[in-house]
Amino acid sequence: MFRLSLLGARGHWGGRALLSALGIALGVALGSAVHLINRAAVNELAAGVRALAGDADLEVRGARAGFPEALYAELARLPGVAVASPVLELEAGLAAGRTIRILGLDPLRAGLVQPALFGDDPRRRLELLKPDTVYLSAAAADLARDGKLRVVAGLQTVELEVAGVLPASSLRGVAALADVATAQWRLGREGQLNRIDLRLAPGVDRELLRTAIGAKLPAGVHVVTVDAVEESGANLSRAYRVNLNVLALVALFTGGFLVFSAQALEVARRRGEHALLRVLGLQGAGLFRLLLAEAALIGAAASALGVVLGWAIAKAAVSLGGADLGSGLFRGVQPELALPIGTMAAYWAAGIAVAVAGAWLPALDAARVPPAQALKAGDAERLFERAATIAPGLALLAAGTALSQLPAVGGLPLPGYAAIACLLVGGVLLMPWLARSAFERLPLSRRPALALALAQLRGAPGQAMVSLAAIVASFALMCAMAIMVASFRESVDRWLSAVLPADLYLRTTHAGESAWIEPEFEDQVRKLPQFSSVEFLRSQRVLLDPARPAVALLARDGEADKGAMRVPLAGKGYQRRAGDPPPAWISEAVADLHRLGPGARIELPLAGRRQPFIVAGIWRDYARQHGAVVIERETYVALTGDRRANDAALWLARGATPDQASRALRALPGGSALEIAGPGEIRTVSLRLFDRTFAVTYALEAVAVLVGLFGLASSVGAIVLSRRREFGMLRHVGMTRGQVGGMLAAEGGLLAALGVGAGIALGAAISLVLVYVVNRQSFGWSMDLHPPWALLAGLSAALVGLAALVAWFSGREAMGVGPVRAVREDW
């Protein structure tokens, strides 16, 4: 019986089946590729953390600014500590641009904790003791072709001797090993460390010792287990990875929709055939199973293709551009791609499940029709009759709205994603009702082609609904993402204007953490006549919570009126009162993570002590995802004694040009090492960076849209083809070919217009969830809504035009056989 059905199916399934199969394959391919790449990147990162941690049981971590080396001696002497290994780890600038992670360690200690570093060649440890000597990681090998690594320290360049290159398994990423004393001295961190790896003696109570160590640590320094370090590394990128996975799932979802539309039309067309099978003794349930099996078969083949394709995409992507996928979180990570059989099987199964789910409703419908009724001609409109009730759609929309109000779960905006799914499905379910109401209210035109088109849409909305659903679903998603990305980009653009008020900027932070400006240099800059006003900034990193990445601490020269820091505040600031501690302006990420509002107290670990500050305002910061705190530089210097600076904002004096001013800066001793840029330049670079970050998002979005358009074209075409005899009849009653074509174009256009209108409305709702819920919860960024009107209008017009065009074109094809033969088909 199954074979019989397949025989029947063979003739029709060609193009459309292929399209829906392609949709599934594409969805599975994207989903599995994104997953494979992300997993490879995270594994690589975790392996790096593990390799670096080696056999360490505990890790004492401070912010990059570090802690005095005496702490290392104190911890090394603690009973229960078998080995203590001191580390000074910095992202250092290279004279030739780029940065490199420099690991200053004691090779005699590190060898005991991280055997991988020296395991293949123990003599390397002794080589490394030599002053100004480094070993490069394999990924950094090409940074020092002449055997010298030129590192920026302050505004100077230090030349380090490259003693060799480590095997790729010893040290990952772009990194260099140096003796801790060399790192301290050459990078200007005399007497400082920022990490201590501890291996405990056997049988020691780890928690007990951890508590004991914790009690000895200065503020801002924490003792954590290596597992926690590894986990926080993965957490860094989790929201971004989940976001990409969801985008990939959207493609799969759209593929499922394609199956649905193809199957619905198939079931309608093969109604007679199915009735015949029923008459031959196949039960309704049997037919249902038969149709699902058909869908499963197609799903299995398509999904298998998708998995293979996904593997190929992942492999190509990793070998071409590494595993970064635009987030910047995995820059420089060159992972090994593993083939996780289980996961790939799950993606394969998901593809099948989606195909079966898409076929469910049409199959159910086919099985329920009494065979006698089905054998009559013209009974193809039942599928959506039941769906014309509005209760389920409304319920889903309500559920979506409610879900969008919930907080994140485990740091992920899962309710937000669920809300989007509810809104989407709810909106699609409301379409039959909406279409009926809309088309009934539309006045009939006098022109026969238009009148006929509207009558057709009013009379037989079932088939049209399939196309409509495809349009709404894909267009809503397209709009939502377009609005979200445009809002984000526009918000970033405006934010850049707000944070770049000066005429000129000079930076050392492009050179990692090893460059800084000495007070003498600062004085010289202040004395330059080209500038009317100069504000310096010291950037540091502080560890507020050991389980999270360090937060940027920006100590800025205040303006003349104290307490008004030039930051783009989100919401209202706090009016300081007498007796308040000094003010701090925290970025949204810090506010969200630590649940702080204006007027709240915050303690910042400065110079090993907890210093109280009051939150004077919350500001928007798109530059530092892990959060940033701005304080007054005066306060910072008073508390830490650190008079170094990293960046400066410069306002030109009357008559000075940016060129003159840059030249004057460069002419200062050490000035040639500075990066000097105008606000326009910085803005351009930042936006380019933004676009690069979203490149993968754009690509996934484009694929989802493409799949949607496929669906639209195929379903419109199918409907038209199935109405061949109708066209023959119309030709017999005197309509011209042109009029029939016009009627079809009008039908397609009207349908698409309704779909596009509904899609925009639905997409706007979804974009609200994306902008205000998903993005905020994933990345801690708030943004303003800036819909890209022109883009949306253009897309709408294109879609309506495309639908009309496809309908007209299919009509031409359908009428190609001539009216007489077309009508004869009825017999």
Partner 1 sequence: MRRRAFLALPLALLPAQARANAVAYPAVTPDFRLDFPRDHGAHPHFRQEWWYVTGSLATSRGETLGFQVTFFRARPDFATANPGRMVPRQIILAHAALADGRHGRLRHEDRAGRASLGLAGADEGTTRVWVDGWRLELVRNAWRTRIAAREFALDLEIRMRRPPVANGRDGYSQKGPGAGEASYYYSVPHLLVSGSVERAGARQEVSGTAWLDHEWSSQYMPAAAEGWDWIGLNLDDGGALMAFRMRKGGGAAPGSDTLYAGGTLLSPQDVVRVLAPDQVAFEPLRRWRSPRTGTTYPVAMKVAILGREWLIEPMMDDQELDARASTGTIYWEGAVGAKLEGATVGRGYLELTGYWRPMRL
State the residues that interact with partner 1 by CB under 8 A.
69-70, 72-73, 76-77, 86, 106, 108-109, 111, 115, 118, 122-123, 126-127, 129-132, 179-182, 184-185, 190-191, 202
Q: Given the complex with partner 1, which of 182 and 327 has the nearer CB atom? A: 182
Other C-beta atoms closer than 10 Å to the C-beta of 120 total 12
Residue 612 CB contacts under 8 Å (≥ 6 apart), including other chains: 581, 601, 602, 603
Q: Pairing relation of β-strands 156-165 and 133-136?
A: parallel
Q: Given the complex with partner 1, which of 92 and 649 has the nearer CB atom? A: 92
Q: Given the complex with partner 1, which of 158 and 543 has the nearer CB atom? A: 158
Q: Given the complex with partner 1, which of 182 and 474 has the nearer CB atom? A: 182
CA distance readout (Å), 785 to 286, 480, 491, 768: 52, 11, 8, 8
Element (H, E) at 613: strand 609-619
The dihedral over CA atoms of 250, 487, 490, 237, expressed in degrees to the nearest 10, equals -50
Smallest gap from residue 81 Cβ to partner 1 (A)? 9
Q: Given the complex with partner 1, which of 33 and 158 has the nearer CB atom? A: 158
Residue 603 CB contacts under 8 Å (≥ 6 apart), including other chains: 219, 610, 611, 612, 613
Of 97, 99, 52, 96, the residue nearest 514 (C-alpha): 99
Smallest gap from residue 108 Cβ to partner 1 (A)? 4
Q: Given the complex with partner 1, which of 73 and 685 has the nearer CB atom? A: 73
Smallest gap from residue 76 Cβ to partner 1 (A)? 5
Measured CA to CA, the distance from residue 139 to residue 176 in angstroms comes to: 10
Measured CA to CA, the distance from residue 697 to residue 296 in angstroms comes to: 30
Smallest gap from residue 131 Cβ to partner 1 (A)? 4
Residue 650 has which token pair? Answer: 């410069």
Q: Given the complex with partner 1, which of 129 and 793 has the nearer CB atom? A: 129
HSE of 370, CA atoms in CB hemisphere, 13 A:
2
Smallest gap from residue 644 Cβ to partner 1 (A)? 19
Smallest gap from residue 186 Cβ to partner 1 (A)? 8
Measured CA to CA, the distance from residue 715 to residue 20 in angstroms comes to: 11
Q: Given the complex with partner 1, which of 60 and 591 has the nearer CB atom? A: 60
The residue type of 656 is A
Beta strands in 208-326 (DSSP E): 222-225
**Do the beta carbons of residue 187 and residue 87 sit within 8 Å?**
no
Rg over alpha carbons for the chain, rounded to the nearest Å, is 33
Q: Given the complex with partner 1, which of 84 and 419 has the nearer CB atom? A: 84
**Do the beta carbons of residue 323 and residue 334 sit within 8 Å?**
yes
The dihedral over CA atoms of 453, 458, 460, 465, expressed in degrees to the nearest 10, equals 90
Smallest gap from residue 72 Cβ to partner 1 (A)? 7
The residue type of 802 is L
Q: Given the complex with partner 1, which of 72 and 710 has the nearer CB atom? A: 72
Smallest gap from residue 123 Cβ to partner 1 (A)? 5
Smallest gap from residue 130 Cβ to partner 1 (A)? 6
Smallest gap from residue 56 Cβ to partner 1 (A)? 16
DSSP state at residue 774: I
